[in-house]
Amino acid sequence: KRLAVFVSGGGSNFRSIHEASIAGSILGDIVVLVTNKRGCGGAEFAREKGIPVIPFPKTKDEPDGVPPTDLVATLREFEVDFVLLAGYLKLIPVELIRAYPKSIINIHPSLLPAFGGKGYYGMKVHKAVIASGARFSGPTIHFVDEHYDTGRILAQRVVPVLPEDTAEELAARVLREEHSLYVEVVAALCEDRIMWRQDGVPLICSKE
Distance in Å, CB of 151 to ligand GRF, minimum: 13
Residue 35 binds ligand GRF (CB under 6 A)? no
Residue 54 binds ligand GRF (CB under 6 A)? no
Instruction: Name beta bridge partners: 3.
Output: 30, 82
- Stretch of 2-10, 51-59, 128-136, 186-194 contacting ligand GRF, by CB under 6 A: 2-10
142 is catalytic: no
Q: Give the residue ranges of DSSP H helices in the chain.
A: 12-23, 41-48, 68-77, 94-99, 123-132, 167-190
Between 56 and 70, name the residue whose CB sits nearer to ligand GRF. 56
Residue 138 binds ligand GRF (CB under 6 A)? no
Residue 10 binds ligand GRF (CB under 6 A)? yes
Which residues fall within 8 angstroms of residue 84, CB to CB, at 6 or more apart? Answer: 3, 4, 5, 6, 17, 104, 105, 182, 186
Residue 151 binds ligand GRF (CB under 6 A)? no
Q: Active-site residues: which are they?
A: 108
